[in-house]
Every structure is written in structure tokens, then in C-alpha cells.
Amino acid sequence: MKGLSSLKWTTVDELELDEKVKGILKERGVIRLNPVQTEAIKKGLLKGKRLLVASPTASGKTLVAELGMISHVTNGGKAVYVVPLRALAQEKYDTLKSWEKLGVKVGITSGDYDSDDEWLRYYDIVVSTYEKLDSLWRRRATWLSQVNYYVLDEVHYINDGERGPVIEGITIRSKRAGNLLALSATVSNYVEIADWLGAEPVVIDWRPVKLREGVLFPEGRRFRVQFDDGSIETVKGVDPIVAFTLRSIEAGGQVLIFRNSRRNAEATARRVAEFLDETENDLTSALNEEDVVNEEREGLEPLLRRGVAYHHAGLSKRTRDLIESAFRTRRLKVIAATPTLAAGVNLPARTVIIGDYHRYNRKVLGFQEEIPVMEYKQMSGRAGRPGFDDSGEAVIVVRNAREAERVMKKYVLSQPEELKSRLGSELAFFSFVLGVLASDGPLTEMELRKFASESLMTREVLERYLDRAINWLTEREFVKLGRKLSLTSFGRRVADLYVNPFTADLIKEKLTKSELGCNLAYLQLLASTPDAPVVSVGRYEEDRLYDELDCELMVEEPEDETERYEFLSSLKVGLIVRDWINEEPEEKILETYNVGSGDLNAVVETMDWLTYSGHHVCNVLGLSEHAKRLSLLNARVKDGVSEELLDLVKIRGVGRKRARLLYDSGVRSVLDVLANPEKVKSILGARLGESVIEQAARALTGLHK
């Protein structure tokens, strides 16, 4: 790792770049490149050298990626920038748009896994999520053959139990397909990872704003902060988080507080707000202008007046965007959030307070486990606002001095965990093999073994799972054996749909031997698959969930306690979506099932995909009656409507509420809208009605094509 004393800066004018490129950098205020960027260029970034750039959060890795891609595409290449989260994809896309002044075309794709996005052949730089790129490779999108430069952002997510296997597979294909640039937070085994990538490591422990890290714990009637530089501070108050927050605000800083649950984040925000005066800002009026549910508005309005908010996945995207924007523009002083905020968006603060270093995990005795060091580093790395602060500070809250010593050693003074393969499970590895055969097959067993051996798996783990995967996929008719291993029509369709083979196998098993079921039975079946959304179920909810049953389910209640919790989650998801398609008001669904608006959106989006996939799985299996039921269910889930409204919601701008309003007034189809223009305008208002009539004409044209 390069020492801080030898770090160098480079002016933009010194770079071997086209003058137009330099001009765009200067327009964005980039006059010189920092040590991380300078070292990357020194190691061959502009000459297409494979690099692994590992440095702290906010050290300028995005600009490294931009320079690498621009130098490549301006010489006739095509690049893909891959990120782990949709929010990050949009953020990177917005940044890259500035290069269109050079004639570089920038595109973005995420979601819609049953598409090859052929329109992207006309773009020079494509931003994608890892999952979307994986699905494109499985579908053998022809435009991918043009790509010869891959930027793998946040590659340390290989350690993530859910996303890691996909990122590992993408990395193998990227190594095979062309040049690559891997970007990561600092990792302790960077030599091993660079060797795996065939890349030159660029590893510098530099960040634009100096960071002090410490632990905060009670000492008598005060709270003591022990920092890693040896300095000590004390703060007064009855609550350590509130006391340190107020101390930071008084010094002119903004504060991010991370808590391990939504309930704790909301409670912390309210507690901090009690100590702050109301200020004049436009946040409450901005919140009222957005179409947010009453629960969100009522919970946040009194906090926003005092410059405080909470942030978690239960909030609607509109509300989260408002909070993030207000914090960036310094209209908010404090956000109390769950850790997802640290990974999802670029939102720095002068002070970061990590209120918990445990998180809940129902698979762990006592339901709690200590967070990884990498997760702590991601949260603490948000401390320090470039351009606003000379230094940032991150503290982690503990109960006593003895605990402080252990936590200081484990989190503050140590390196993050080594990056290791997460393919060592049947759920991950079997899907990996299916994906390899979809994108690169047919393959001999030796060729498949060679591909898998290019992962980070140890040989022992590979040998343990490979034969098992081949046998399982063959027995369940995803793969057929011959001189080479190839996908059956069932296996190909499952791979194209981008569902886990265990999901498809459960659908096949249950529907092959089941008669037609009620909507809830289908929804609960799909919600029992590995790809399904998971919602929390409180003890007090169990009896009520059972009371809501109105038909026989296809997945029975298990006896195992852990599996029983998963069953209850699937039942709750099924009931939520049943109420959604029966047009229950969103407010009522949120109240009935104790979920947030963001949760409902996530459940609907995932179940939209699963009903669509279930329909196509049944089609390829010849289960035509089940396929018809799932197709109808998919159409209803997408818009949250009864069957009678499906024609009206084909009109752009007509959702579940407007469709119901029109239907109950006697306007019951696209044709009715066109036949009764004055009536439509009287129901919806002149301006909106005119727009709906215009869109109805377009919808009718589309239907008749």
C-alpha cells in the first residue's frame, strides 16, 4: 500500500488526453487529479491496463472509471459500467451524461430481466446493475460482443451473501470478454484479488477529507469519545447519540446516524428533534406536494421543521429522494438511517454515528450478529464532506470502557475482511451453473469445470458442489446430458427469466400436481420461493394472518421454527398482494400489515416479476390452465386492479384510482373513453381528461397493431 508521504497530484493539463476531454473536466471543476487518480494513470489507466483500484470511500474512484472508459471509447471501443444497486446505476448515469458533449452516447439498463435490450447496440457506454448484465449474458444479447471494456464498481460486494455469487460470475465473464477496471473499498487481500483479476493493484489509503474514528461510551455522568489519533473528548447529556449529535450541529456540521432497525432509526430521529428548534424551510411544503401516504407525512413533517429526518427502505422512493436532496443542499442537519443508506447513495456528512454494531439475523441464536468490518467502514466512510469540511469524524457507540477497547481493535484499527467466494451453497452454485450453460453452453463437463475453477472457490468446494449441481439440474430436467451438457427448453426459459432454478423447481413441483387454485394460493406459492420478497412478521400478527385464509394453500406450514417464519412471511406477502389486486387503498394495506410504502412497492415489483415468470414456466411445461391464471394474475398485480379494470389501465396515465373512478361512472373500456370524451373530461377534469383521451387513442392503435 502506497505511503501517504509519497502521494502525488497531477494537473489536468499534464494528462495525455484530448483537449475536449480536458475541457469537460475543467467545466466540472476538476483542475487536478488526486493521488488515487494519479496513481491509476501512472499504472496504465489511459493505456487500457487492467487495474484493481482499492481505496476508501469518497477517494475519487468514479472519475478513475470515467477516464478509463472515455480513453477507451474515444478510440473506438465500447464499455459497460456495472454497479450493485439501481440507485447507484442512476447516479453514475447522471454523472456520465456530461461526456455526451464529445458525441459519446450513454445508456442505462436495469430490471426487466426477460429482455436483451438490443437498442443498446447504439451506445458507447452502458450503465447496468450486476443482475441485469448477468441476465443479458444468459440471453446472449448480441450487442455484448461489441463490449471490450468492463468497469466493475464496488467489487467488494463479492462478500455479500445475496449479490456476491452474481458479481463473481460477472467478474469471470468480464475477464474472459475484454479489458476490465475493478473498483473497491480497501480490502486486506488485494494482492490475491488483483492476481485473480489479472490486474495491477492500485491501493492507496487516501481520502480527500481526513477521517477521525473513535468509540463513544459512558463515563460517570458524561460520555467519553476515544479517537484513533489518541485524542479524547467528553460530551454531556442523557443519551450518547443525542449528546454527540448536538455537539456536532453546534459546530456547524451535518450528522448521519446509523441504527440497526427502522424502529430505532425513527425513534432516534424523534429523540434528536426534541432538542432542536423549529426552522423555516420548504421541506414540509415539498413533502405535501409529493403523492406520499399520510403515515409518512405525519411521521416526518414535525421532524423536517427541525431539520431532522429518518430514512429507510420502508419509505416511498419519492420521500427518500426528497430527504437525500435536502441533506445534500444542507437544508437537513440530521438523518437517522438504516445501513442501506451507506451503500446506496453518495451522501456525506461531517459526523457519522454508528449506534449499533449488531444486526438482526433470525438464523443466529438470539437473532443478533456483529456486523462485518467492511459494513462499518462503509458507514464510517461517509464522514467528511469534500468542499465543506477539513475533517470528518465517525464514532461507534458502545456500553462501557471494556467494550470500547474491543470494538476499537476490531472495527476502527483493523482492515476489512478478505474477499472470499460466496458460491459455496446449493442455492448459489446451482444457479451459477445454469447461468454458465445459458451464456456459454453447450459445454463438456471439463469445460464447465474449467469455467467454475476461474472463480474464487477453493478446489475442495468446487469438487463438493459441481457433480451435485449437474445431477440435480439433470434430474429436474433443466439440463440434458450428451457429449456436452446443454439446457432443455425448460432450463433455457428459466435462465432467460432470470429466476433461481429452485424457484422454478418449486413452481413445477406444486403446479404439476395441483388443481387450479385461488389467487392467494398462487401468490403464497410464489412468495415461498428463494426469489420472493421477505417481510417481517410479528408474533401478534400470526393469528390474524391465519384468519385471513380463504382457500387451501399449495405450500403447507412446516414444523421447523425457522421454516415456519419463512412460511408466515410468504403468507403475509400473499395477503398483501391479494389485497392490492382487490383494490384495497394503499393506506389501508400499510396499516393492516404494518409495512411501509417502500415495502409495498418492493413486494409488488417482485411479485409482478414472479407472476410473469410463473406464467412462462407453466407455458414451457405445458400447464396451460395454470399459465392462464398466472397471466391474468400478473396483469392485475402490475397495476393493483380487479379484472374488470384491466382494459382501462392500458391507457397511459390511468392507474388504479382513475380507472375505478371512470369505471364506476360508466366509462369501462378504452373504446368508452374515446366514445365519451366530454364525460371523461367531466370526471377527470378538462386538462387531465384531454390527456387521457389522447393516450386512449394511442393505446387503441397499439392494441390493433
Instruction: Using CB atoms within 10 Å of the CB of residue 400, give its burial: 0 to 12 exposed, 13 to 18 middle, 19+ buried.
Output: exposed
Q: Confirm whether 1 is domain-assigned.
A: no
Rounded mean pLDDT of the chain?
92
Q: What does 391-426 look like in DSSP terms, one character per residue?
A: EEEEEEE-SSHHHHHHHIIIIISSPPPPP-----SH
Q: Confirm whether 681 is domain-assigned.
A: yes
What percent of the chain clears pLDDT 90, i.e. is strictly above it?
77
Note whether 258 and 233 are same-domain residues: yes
How many H-runs (helices) and E-runs (strands) does the chain carry?
A: 30, 21
- Taking CB atoms within 8 Å and a gap of at least 24, the contacts of 367-375 are 370/410, 371/339, 372/159, 372/416, 372/417, 373/410, 373/411, 373/414, 373/415, 373/416, 373/417, 374/156, 374/159, 374/185, 374/416, 374/417, 375/339, 375/342
Contacts of 497 (CB under 8 A, 6+ apart): 113, 114, 504, 612, 613, 616, 617
Q: Confirm whether 474 is domain-assigned.
A: yes
Position 511 scores a pLDDT of: 96
For 425: left if phi > 0, alpha if psi spans -120 to 50, otherwise beta; the answer is beta
Residue set of the binding site for ATP: 37
Going by the DSSP 8-state scheme, the letter that residue 336 receives in this structure is E
Give, rounded to a whole angstrom, the gap between the first and last alpha carbons of the chain. 62
* Amino acid in the structure at residue 439: S
Position 340 scores a pLDDT of: 83
CATH code assigned at 434:
1.10.10.10
The number of distinct structural domains making up the chain is 5
Would you tell me the crossing angle of helices 519-526 and 597-621 to the nearest 10 degrees?
Answer: 100
Q: Confirm whether 3 is domain-assigned.
A: no
Would you tell me the crossing angle of helices 597-621 and 561-581 to the nearest 10 degrees?
Answer: 90
Note whether 247 and 392 are same-domain residues: yes
Whether the model clears a pTM of 0.95, i.e. scores above it, the answer is no
E strand intervals along 164-219: 179-184, 200-203, 210-219
User: Residue 35 phi/psi, 5° resolution?
Assistant: -60, -35
Note whether 233 and 376 are same-domain residues: yes
Rounded Cα gap, residues 161 and 174, in angstroms: 21
Q: Confirm whether 112 is domain-assigned.
A: yes
Among the candidates 148, 181, 203, a domain finishes at 203
Note whether 363 and 216 are same-domain residues: yes
All three cell numbers of 583, joined, read 383494490
Would you tell me the crossing angle of helices 240-250 and 262-273 to the nearest 10 degrees?
Answer: 50
Rounded Cα gap, residues 454 and 428, in angstroms: 16
Q: Confirm whether 320 is domain-assigned.
A: yes
Q: Confirm whether 420 is domain-assigned.
A: no
Task: Tell me the per-residue pLDDT of 575-594, one tens digit each, with 9 for 90 and over.
Answer: 999 999 999 999 999 999 99
Rounded Cα gap, residues 41 and 309, in angstroms: 41
Grouping H, G, I as helix, E, B as strand and the rest as coil, residue 2 is strand
CATH code assigned at 562:
1.10.3380.30
Note whether 183 and 266 are same-domain residues: no
Rounded Cα gap, residues 366 and 380, in angstroms: 26
Buried b / exposed e along 194-227 (16+ C-beta atoms within 10 A): bebbebebbbbbbbbbebbbbbbbeeeeebbbbb
Position 655 scores a pLDDT of: 93
CATH code assigned at 284:
3.40.50.300
Q: Which of 204, 211, 184 is nearest to 7 (CA)?
A: 204
Note whether 223 and 304 are same-domain residues: yes
* Ranges 318-327, 470-479, 594-603, most confident: 470-479
Task: Tell me the per-residue pLDDT of 104-157, one tens digit each, with 9 for 90 and over.
Answer: 999 999 877 788 899 999 999 999 999 999 999 999 999 999 999 999 999 999
Q: Which of 176, 49, 153 is nearest to 92 (CA)?
A: 153
Note whether 513 and 402 are same-domain residues: no
Grouping H, G, I as helix, E, B as strand and the rest as coil, residue 284 is helix
Is pLDDT at 366 greater than 50 in this prediction?
Answer: no
Is pLDDT at 419 greater than 80 in this prediction?
Answer: yes
Note whether 635 and 664 are same-domain residues: no
Is pLDDT at 465 greater than 50 in this prediction?
Answer: yes
Rounded Cα gap, residues 97 and 125, in angstroms: 10
What Å distances lie between residue 104 and 71, 99, 143, CA to CA? Answer: 11, 6, 17
Note whether 636 and 666 are same-domain residues: no
Q: Which of 380, 394, 246, 388 is nearest to 330 (CA)?
A: 388
Task: Tell me the per-residue pLDDT of 264-321, one tens digit each, with 9 for 90 and over.
Answer: 999 999 999 999 998 877 787 777 766 678 888 889 999 999 999 999 999 998 899 9
Helix (H) or strand (E) holding 662: helix 656-664
What percent of the chain clears pLDDT 70, i.e. is strictly above it?
97
Note whether 654 and 587 are same-domain residues: no
Rounded Cα gap, residues 294 and 286, in angstroms: 14
Among the candidates 457, 477, 497, a domain finishes at 497
- The side-by-side arrangement of strands in the sheet containing 125-129 is 106-109, 125-129, 79-83, 149-152, 179-184, 51-54, 200-203
Grouping H, G, I as helix, E, B as strand and the rest as coil, residue 429 is helix
Domain extent for 150: 10-203
Position 365 scores a pLDDT of: 44
Task: Tell me the per-residue pLDDT of 652-685, one tens digit each, with 9 for 90 and over.
Answer: 999 999 999 999 999 999 999 999 999 999 999 9
Task: Tell me the per-residue pLDDT of 211-240, one tens digit each, with 9 for 90 and over.
Answer: 999 999 999 889 999 999 999 999 999 899
All three cell numbers of 568, joined, read 408466515
For range 67-78, the mean pLDDT: 93
Instruction: Please tell me whether the peptide bond between 442 and the residue prior to it is cis, using omega within 30 degrees of 0.
Output: yes
Q: What does 604-660 look like in DSSP terms, one character per residue?
A: HHHHHHHHHHHHHHHHHHT-HHHHHHHHHHHHHHHHT--GGGTTGGGSTT--HHHHH
Is pLDDT at 343 greater than 90 in this prediction?
Answer: no
What Å distances lie between residue 540 and 5, 221, 320, 525, 593, CA to CA? Answer: 59, 38, 29, 23, 11
Q: Confirm whether 5 is domain-assigned.
A: no
Q: Which of 630, 615, 638 is nearest to 493 (CA)?
A: 615
Note whether 199 and 227 are same-domain residues: no
Residue set of the binding site: 37
Task: Tell me the per-residue pLDDT of 498-514, one tens digit each, with 9 for 90 and over.
Answer: 999 999 999 999 999 99
Note whether 192 and 244 are same-domain residues: no
Instruction: Using CB atoms within 10 Å of the CB of residue 659, give its burial: 0 to 12 exposed, 13 to 18 middle, 19+ buried.
Output: buried
Task: Tell me the per-residue pLDDT of 595-613, one tens digit each, with 9 for 90 and over.
Answer: 999 999 999 999 999 999 9
Buried b / exposed e along 494-521 (16+ C-beta atoms within 10 A): bbbbbbbbbbbbbbbebbeeeeebbbbb
Instruction: Using CB atoms within 10 Å of the CB of residue 362, give its burial: 0 to 12 exposed, 13 to 18 middle, 19+ buried.
Output: exposed
Half-sphere exposure of 464 (CA within 13 A, CB side): 10
Among the candidates 624, 640, 656, a domain finishes at 640
Which of residues 351 and 562 earns the better pLDDT score? Answer: 351
